[in-house]
Amino acid sequence: MSVRTQANAVLRLCYFNGLTPLWRTPVLIVAVFLTPFCFLFFLYVVAPHPLLPFGIVGGVMFTTLFTGNGMLNDCGYLRLERQLQQVFVASPMRPLSYVLGMALSELAFALPSMALFFAVLEVVTGFGAVAFAALLGVVALTWLMATSLGFMISTFFRQLREIWPIGTVVFSVLSVLPPLFYPIASIPAPWRWVAFFSPSTYAGQLADRAVGLPLPPIPTVPALGSPWVQFGALVTLTVLFGAASLRLARWREP
Amino acid sequence: MEALVAADLSKTYSGARGRVEALDRVSLSIAPGQLFAFLGRNGAGKTTFIKICSTLLIPTSGHAELFGLDVVERAREVRERIAIVPQEGRPFFHLTPREHVEEYLRVRGASGESARSRADEVLAAMGLRGFANEPAYRLSGGLQQRTLVAMILATEAPFLFLDEPTLGMDPFARRQVWQVIRHATQRGSTVLLTTHYLDEAEQLAQELAVIEGGHILYRGTPEALKSRVHREVRLQFDSGFTVPELRPYGEVFEERGRLTLLTTRSVVPELTRRALERERPIHVGPVTLEEAFLALVGRGIEDEVDPEGGP
Ligand SMILES: Nc1ncnc2c1ncn2[C@@H]1O[C@H](COP(=O)(O)OP(=O)(O)O)[C@@H](O)[C@H]1O
Ligand SMILES: [Mg+2]
């Protein structure tokens, strides 16, 4: 099949797997939105209000990262519970097209929630077009990284029961602990570098920077504070997870 | 050129219970346009064979070619030519039968228009027209299975793998599905179907293979398999008789508490009289594929394979 037919296959998969459930089961939109919103609400009640923009950016990043959890669960579900991945593998659709179509489906789930956070962020910070574009770029990279990671992890399991807790553990650790909802400045200076063990910290820092939020230095490893290093790290991780998921994708069982 | 050639195909799984030899040097060829059935009990190795040939599983040794293309080395080209109903597959939760058929065809490269007309045709043939616009979660298990089969048969792929396609369907629905499968072969598709409904194989297959414990025990036509049982009638007893009592009359098989005797016409009056004297039922019928299978494998097709191994 030609590149055009493959691209078409990706969009079809996104349409029937990602978009149709949204309008048939609108509660899904609320479900995606609810957790980050609760964090934000909590922050609004307990934290000083100047920290609020960090929380809103955190909401955007949380929603983006959780596309990875959705990917992990949905790919596991289609492969193990429905045997439908097999139906697509044993077809002219390429493995890459399947992964992309699934990743786009997850993005479709996340879009309404993201749009809401973007709107709130605009009201609170009044950020401009450049900042918006930069933030979108970070969101796109993070989405690719998270969904690749989710897909990769899903291939290691043979039971859906095992996948559920793993997803919650991995993606909660990635999105709640690192400085996404709160400024990295809240971490004592000598320990800030530790946060960079989480891939999501690079994304979070770039997102904060895109919106123009103040960022402190990282004393122990100053290079980690450089936007170029952060950007390079995010791109590298995305490529790494992406390549690994295509390789490990277990289109075939061993 | 053959549609499918498997040569010395073996598969060993290593799992928690140790190593399982699911296929042991299986060789088989299927001619183009044939409707071929794979018969065997649960755990015999049917799904493993289908998964390898449909590029879903890597064999431990041996190789398989589909239309001359190696299924491991040239998987991409093989995938252009196949479609599969996986065993125990389920449709998408929220999509309707019509969407399943149309969207799958479009993912495989069909135009919107041809997908639509093809969907009309297949949904009608499969008796799904009345449910075409119901989301799958509102359909019964049998209708969900029909949806999945419709989606795959609609592709008219050159090679169709159907792993227990009629599982959970009522007899009427199964006949409808058979009709569509036959139609697919008339249009030139080659079909490999697994089943443990023997009547399905008898009705549909031009040729069949019986597989047991990863070995092929028989390959040929259903008629030839039946004629290997050199007996005319089958008598079945639910109770009231013992194996030693029946053995002098022919072959006796015990299957889930029921005794089956393959024998000659001449003894029917005698045994019928005895059953009636004991006020027990007796069932008389012609020899079917069921008995041929029983005679060949030594056990009924519904008997589960003992996971600990052993016959
Ligand atoms: N993934 C697996 N891991 C370990 N053993 C397996 C696996 N899949 C199948 N088996 C074993 O291989 C044998 C053949 O299974 P299968 O091909 O599914 O048989 P069938 O389709 O005829 O019921 C069985 O003993 C089964 O338990
Ligand atoms: Mg099977």
Residue B298 has pLDDT above 90, yes or no: no
Beta strand B159-163 pairing with B4-15: unpaired
Q: Which ligand is closest to the CA of B60, given by its number?
A: 1
Distance B157 CA to ligand 2 centre (A): 22
- Of the candidates B83, B88, B91, which has its C-beta nearest A91's C-beta? B83
- Is B13 close to ligand 1, i.e. is its CB under 6 Å away? yes
Radius of gyration of chain B (CA): 22
Chain A: give the shortest CA distance to residue B97, in Å.
12
> What band does B310 get if pLDDT is binned at 50, 70 and 90?
very low
CA atoms B64, B67, B69, B71: torsion sign: negative
- Is B24 close to ligand 1, i.e. is its CB under 6 Å away? no
Residue B137 has pLDDT above 60, yes or no: yes
- Is B40 close to ligand 1, i.e. is its CB under 6 Å away? yes
> What band does A30 get if pLDDT is binned at 50, 70 and 90?
confident
Contacting residues of B for A17, CB less than 8 Å apart: 92
Number of residue pairs across A and B with CB atoms under 8 Å? 91
Q: Whole-angstrom Cα distance, residue A147 to residue B157?
A: 31
> What band does B290 get if pLDDT is binned at 50, 70 and 90?
confident
- Is B48 close to ligand 1, i.e. is its CB under 6 Å away? yes
> What band does B205 get if pLDDT is binned at 50, 70 and 90?
very high
- Per-residue confidence (pLDDT) for residue B232, from 0 to 100: 84
Residue A21: closest CA among chain B residues belongs to which residue? B94
Q: Judge: B84–A81 Cβ closer than 8 Å, yes or no.
A: no
Given the CA of residue B23, which atom of ligand 1 is nearest to it? Answer: 14
Chain B: give the shortest CA distance to residue A7, in Å.
9
> What band does B306 get if pLDDT is binned at 50, 70 and 90?
low
Which amino acid belongs to residue A87? V
- Is B91 close to ligand 1, i.e. is its CB under 6 Å away? no
Contacting residues of B for A105, CB less than 8 Å apart: none
DSSP state of B187: T
Which amino acid belongs to residue A98? Y
Distance B302 CA to ligand 2 centre (A): 13
> Is B4-219 CATH 3.40.50.300?
yes
Closest Cα partner for B183 from B269, B118, B104?
A: B118
Give, for ligand 1, the residue of B23, B26, B48, B217 to mutate: max count of ligand atoms closer than 8 Å to Cβ.
Answer: B48
Are B28 and B167 in contact by the 8 Å Cβ rule? The answer is: no
Tens digits of residue pLDDT in B225-264: 988 878 889 999 988 899 999 999 998 988 878 899 999 9
**Mean confidence (pLDDT) of chain B:** 92
Q: Judge: B92–A92 Cβ closer than 8 Å, yes or no.
A: no
Q: Judge: A9–B106 Cβ closer than 8 Å, yes or no.
A: yes
Q: Which ligand is closest to the CA of B51, given by its number?
A: 1
- Is B215 close to ligand 1, i.e. is its CB under 6 Å away? no
DSSP state of A15: I
Bridge partners, B195 (sequence order): B39
Q: Does B33 touch chain A (CB under 8 A)?
A: no
- Of the candidates A5, A90, A252, which has its C-beta nearest B109's C-beta? A5
Contacting residues of B for A16, CB less than 8 Å apart: 92, 95, 99, 103
Given the CA of residue A158, which atom of ligand 1 is nearest to it? Answer: 1
Contacting residues of A for B94, CB less than 8 Å apart: 20-21, 24-25
B8's enclosing H/E stretch is strand B4-15
- Domain spans, chain B: 4-219, 226-309
What pTM value is reported for the model? 0.91
- Is B287 close to ligand 1, i.e. is its CB under 6 Å away? no
Contacting residues of A for B74, CB less than 8 Å apart: none
Given the CA of residue B87, which atom of ligand 1 is nearest to it? Answer: 21
Given the CA of residue B48, which atom of ligand 1 is nearest to it? Answer: 17
Tens digits of residue pLDDT in B58-104: 999 999 999 999 999 999 999 999 999 999 999 999 999 999 999 99
Distance B88 CA to ligand 2 centre (A): 9
| Cα B281 to Cα B235, B249, B264, B278, distances in angstroms | 10, 18, 19, 9
Q: Which ligand is closest to the CA of B165, given by its number?
A: 2
* 3-class SS letters over B219-261: EECHHHHHHCCCCCEEEEECCCCCHHHHHHHCEEEEECCEEEE
Phi first, then psi: give them for residue B307, nearest 5 degrees.
-65, -20
- Per-residue confidence (pLDDT) for residue A46, from 0 to 100: 85
Mutate to test the interface with A, among B94, B107, B145, B164 (most CBs of A within 10 A): B107
Mean pLDDT (whole number) for A15-39: 89
Q: Does B74 touch chain A (CB under 8 A)?
A: no
3-state SS, residue A72: helix
Mean pLDDT (whole number) for B279-289: 90
Tens digits of residue pLDDT in A216-239: 999 999 999 999 999 999 999 999
b/e sequence B111-126, b meaning 16+ C-beta within 10 Å: eeeebbebbeebbebb
